[in-house]
Chains A and B, each alone.
Chain A
Amino acid sequence: GQQLNQSPQSMFIQEGEDVSMNCTSSSIFNTWLWYKQDPGEGPVLLIALYKAGELTSNGRLTAQFGITRKDSFLNISASIPSDVGIYFCAGQHIQGAQKLVFGQGTRLTINP
């Protein structure tokens, strides 16, 4: 199957610190999406990546589509309390692209 490995599984940081998380795949993906999920809500898109090597920012968030097309990372700079939540990567394989598969999630906790 199309396995996505997301790490770390959880992070405990101080407010103001930078955060980095990544996803890797055993096969080539043609799309990477990063989502955030707040408690009791559905995931909401943060950043979408459609080209290998693409580096995209959204405010304090930056994500990159790896050159090998098998990985992606998400960075959050100067974390604030509202960044708390679960972050998911999602991708679609170059074959069977109709399926959108998700990583296991990174749970971010911030100490004020």
Chain B
Amino acid sequence: NAGVTQTPKFRILKIGQSMTLQCAQDMNHNYMYWYRQDPGMGLKLIYYSVGAGITDKGEVPNGYNVSRSTTEDFPLRLELAAPSQTSVYFCASRRTLNTEAFFGQGTRLTVV
């Protein structure tokens, strides 16, 4: 049982490049979340999903896209990377609304 797995752990992108941050969970959780954490700040919700095929915007969705074709995977796509997207990205999942959320180890992204 690996929990929540994020790849890659680190990445450097040039402005305008695109990439997909991968997130997978093997706990059969319905709810999945993407957060970004800027230096010295809290976690801001980017997108979330309540189940396969269903996604919705969080607090800071601009510049990102998500999909949820399976229960296990919830990739986050950056189409045109900008320096403002330099951050640490965390994926999380939970089984139901009244249970704890488990977090991945994070992806540290730098856009130059």
Using a CB–CB distance below 8 Å, which chain A residues touch chain B? 1, 6, 31, 33, 35, 40-45, 48, 50, 88, 90, 92, 97-105, 107
Contact = CB atoms under 8 A, between A and B. Distances in A.
Contact of A6 (B42, B45, B98, B106): B42
Contact of B31 (A40, A43, A48, A98): A98
Interface residues of B, number: 28
A98 B105 contact: no
Interface of B: 4, 31, 33, 35, 40-45, 48, 50, 56, 58-59, 90, 92, 94, 97-106
Nearest to A42: B103
B3 to A, nearest CB: 10
A102 B108 CA distance: 19
Contacts of B102: 45
A24 B105 CA distance: 27
